[in-house]
Structure 1
């Protein structure tokens, strides 16, 4: 059975690598084309600069000659100056083209980094959008360096970044997940649109924060004198024509907004457009991930009892070549997995794989799997909790608090997906056995599904037989003589350690 799973995992990895290589090849081809276009733009800019300097110089020389020799008409100096004006116009135009190509080039370079596994630490981490006491954002690496947010974030505006964080951190209805899934499916193949969006100026470079915009929306009514409005509209039109920033592509300049802030209808219109743009950018970010993962599938989203059934599920943050896949099935017949195994065997990675793919699925994206069925659930995790001197809490207290929040949420009637690593490892074996039995019963009675890992093999012997809806799994080396040769595959039963 294990040999078959290893062969299947290897086959799926090879197929995924071939599919990703097509996307990677197209990105390299686009970079080569952009490099040629960039050279043309730089050449045009250089020629324009030479003509501009030559025209200005010639105009000055002719002007001096006209002053010294009245026979030479001063009007002849205007001709090279007109040529210099045209050259200046071409210089500005070439500069815009050059900056546009540079932004598009950066888009493809970041795409290549993602496809080659070199993307960590090179983009936004989303830490400014972190929620206090969130139930999974830190445990599952949703926010922070090397996180899911960093992998997905290709947005150009602060609005889009905040909306993407909302997608990944806020619970939504099943209907909303389905709606997002349909939108991402339509946008998935439109890579040319994402390239054009990447050429927009980064909104953050203008030091314009979303909170400032919200503050403007809440300003009281202001009366703008009639004589001042034409001047403001003129300044706004100039900024729009010059293309000063992404802000000018969405609404008028900041000065106009401040003075016209009391116009309720205008505010509603602007707020609606910004909201639509934020939604569009977040969907495009997920669609970009979907495009770069051509073998990822959209899970079937179901109503009813909690269910999480996947075949060949893979971790979304790992490089495709090193991603080992496993089958997962949480349903009323197998509500939870009780997993045992030594350190480095892959238990924590399995838990994060389940959680991160659930986050992506609920946000409307595809996941690394060959088949998948999910119902709408709240995700609760306890993986990386630690002592906090600032809050005066030990790791054990933090874990107990998180488990209490999970049970409370399950008892409120919400469907819950729980992921617990090394459950109650900070207490004695006897106390742990009694406490875990109570926790498992409370979660199972509420219909919650999920997985629990432990090093305590005695816990498996006492808890598993009494948990009728639980399934026992282990992770260990397939070679008895080499206990550190892990294959990272889930195997049924307690393994060799439990048998001893």
Structure 2
């Protein structure tokens, strides 16, 4: 509508100008009327575009919120693949990153700093005091819908955002200039070039003087301190990406008023000492935008004449000298606040998921009716798992597709949530600080020449090292050592489990090999057998995914093979 009006007013302006200047039907100043109307419509049009963009972002934000509530979120968020640590003891096994992952479900961060902090929380257990502090912070942030909406409407996608480590490295690097001599020379040469440019048309002095000034500017920029200038202007390129978004996020967080101690501390980190982080980052963004105007072909000659690179190299160095030491603190604070906002949104959208009780007096994982948070609510079957000083090991048997591996993932991912400070999918959960390790998705590798069995024993060796560390291990071993013969498997599995239990670990082991279920006797009284089973329903295999005590009494492998057409 407004764009059509602008076009109409523009055409009217052309007609008025023609009638005034060419036909001389009325005075020339009548042209001012359509010009003023056109300018007003341009301002209104720009405001309407911004409002429309904000409305679309708001719709997208609430669509994502509703999708998470309705379990339709998978594939629509940030996967976080690039944040997955190499050779991590459980990240791949428990679907922490990737399509349909825990990270995709949780992450609402607008900056790379927020993503990195959330990823760090999901890949390492926090100390007890830290977990409790995060729980208190989430309780305060839970109903902060306006804050989360405002952050979501700030514009650009995080994919193109500033990399925190790169920005910190740039901000804290040693200074490149030991004196301001080159800047003084640049001011003098720039002023002389301006005078030469003015003298050319005004006093009739030929272009030679002006060209001489340009040559002097080029030579001085390149040779008199040119290496330092080049280092400065090249170094700002990568850390300078999307500083505008970071400044906006900081500005919105600065406006918030917090009550919880940790939140107040983080807020103080971005507002302390009279240096508001958003203002300082905003200044750097404006400097960079002005500096990049040299890339405009119409301005390039003027930039050369004024020795633009030199002036801005000194300006960037002055910014680093004044604010560089604060950058890491600012990014750490904004990252933690955004990670807390992500978990607070999860807490708000799942009001029935409680905070776990963090226990320090014993090694325990006691989950009542725990479910998997990545499985849709209407399909999620819950089971109760209690591992403590009396029952430290579950040996889980069962038929194919009956729920054994899902049980391990359910225990593991709820432990991850609990020790990150988030709510858990359970009726209740008591859990102590634990290191987590799993073998649910170890794979062979053509590149390294490792078989699946070799990859598994390497992971088991990694877990054995973790088990000897101060934090007790929660081990989740799926089909342990199934890449070897039954005799070696039983001996090897019992030895591995015995070493874990001897180090104070607790955990679950799944198996199809019923011989391994006899290991309960070797680990008595600390181990029990549990199982999952299937049944025939309307002539088809069906599963209820309910954990039962004891050893499974039947197998469905042959039946599954027959049902897909194999002649067995």
The answer on 1:292 being equivalent to 2:349 is yes
Instruction: Indicate whether 1:451 and 2:451 are aligned.
Output: no
Unaligned 5+ segments in structure 2 are 188-241, 249-277, 289-312, 556-568
How many angstroms does 1:76 deviate by? 1.4
Residue number among 148, 156, 169 corresponding to 2:123 in the alignment: 169
| 1:183 maps onto 2:214 in alignment | no
> After the TM superposition, which of the residue ranges 397-406 and 111-120 deviates more from structure 2?
111-120
Q: Is the 8 A contact 2:111 2:161 kept in 1?
A: no
C-alpha distance in 2, partners of 1:337/1:179?
Answer: 32
Map residues 406-485 of structure 1 onto 2, 5 A cutoff: 406-477=463-534, 484-485=541-542
The CA deviation at 1:478 is 6.0
TM score, norm. by length of structure 2: 0.73
Question: Which residue does the alignment assign to 1:256?
Answer: 287
Give distance in 2, aligned partners of 1:248 and 1:79.
39
Q: Work out which of the residue numbers 378, 383, 388 in structure 2 matches 1:321.
A: 378
Deviation of 1:466 (Å): 3.5
Please say if residues 306 and 416 of structure 1, whose CA atoms lie closer than 8 Å, have aligned partners that are also in contact: no
1:64 equivalent in structure 2: 18
Write out aligned runs for 1:5-84 (5 A).
Answer: 46=1, 48-70=2-24, 72-84=26-38
Partner residue in 2 for 1:202: 156
Distance 1:267-1:347 versus aligned 2 partners, 3 A rule: same
Q: Is 1:180–1:364's contact at 8 Å kept on the other side of the alignment?
A: yes
Q: Tell me the secondary structure at the aligned position of residue 452 of structure 1.
A: strand
Once the two structures are TM-superposed, the CA of residue 204 in structure 1 deviates from its matched residue by 3.3
- 8 Å CA contact retained: 1:332, 1:447: no
Shift of 1:218: 3.8
Question: Secondary structure in 2 aligned to 1:56?
Answer: helix
Superposition CA RMSD, Å: 2.4
- Whole-Å separation in 2 of the counterparts to 1:93 and 1:112: 28
Q: Once the 2 structures are TM-superposed, how far is the Cα of residue 477 of structure 1 from its aligned partner?
A: 2.6
User: Is the partner of 1:146 in helix, strand or coil?
Assistant: coil
Per-residue CA deviation, residues 241-278 of structure 1 (Å, 9 max, x unaligned), is: xx994134241244636743453441233432222211
Q: What CA distance in whole angstroms lies between the structure 2 residues aligned with 1:222 and 1:407?
A: 48
Does residue 133 in structure 1 map to residue 87 in structure 2? Answer: yes
Q: Is the 8 A contact 1:58 1:77 kept in 2?
A: no
- The match for 2:443 is 386
- For the 8 Å contact 1:475–1:491, the answer to whether it is kept is yes
- Residues 336 and 462 of structure 1: is their aligned pair in 2 closer, same or farther, counting only changes over 3 Å? closer
User: In 1, are the aligned partners of 2:453 and 2:483 still within 8 Å (CA)?
Assistant: yes
CA 1:459 to 1:121, structure 2 compared with 1: closer, same or farther past 3 Å? same
Return closer, same or farther for 1:205/1:496 CA change in 2, 3 Å cut-off.
closer
Query: 1:255 and 1:86 mapped to 2: Cα distance?
Result: 27
Bigger radius of gyration: 2
Identify which of 322, 347, 350 aligns with 2:404: 347
CA distance in 1, matches of 2:49, 2:421: 38
In the TM superposition, what whole-angstrom CA distance separates every residue of 1:313-358 from its partner, at most 9, and x where no partner exists? 0101010110000101111111111100011010000000111111
Residues 350 and 205 of structure 1, relative CA distance in 2, 3 Å threshold: closer
Matched residues, number: 438
User: Counterpart of 1:370?
Assistant: 427
Query: Is the Cα contact below 8 Å between 2:356 and 2:424 reproduced in 1?
Result: yes
Deviates most, 435-444 or 414-423: 435-444
Q: Decide whether aligned partners of structure 1 residues 353 and 245 sit closer, same or farther in structure 2, where only a CA change above 3 A counts.
A: same
The residue correspondences of 1:132-151 to structure 2 (distance < 5 A) are 132-151=86-105
Instruction: Mark the CA change 1:91 to 1:480 in structure 2 (over 3 Å): closer, same or farther.
Output: closer
Contact kept? 2:403, 2:545, Cα under 8 Å: yes
CA contact (8 A) 2:171 2:327 kept: no
Q: What is the distance in 2 between the residues matched to 1:115 and 1:216?
A: 41
Q: Secondary structure at the match of 1:489?
A: coil
**Pairing 1:481-492 to 2, within 5 Å after superposition:** 484-492=541-549
Aligned position for 1:90: 44
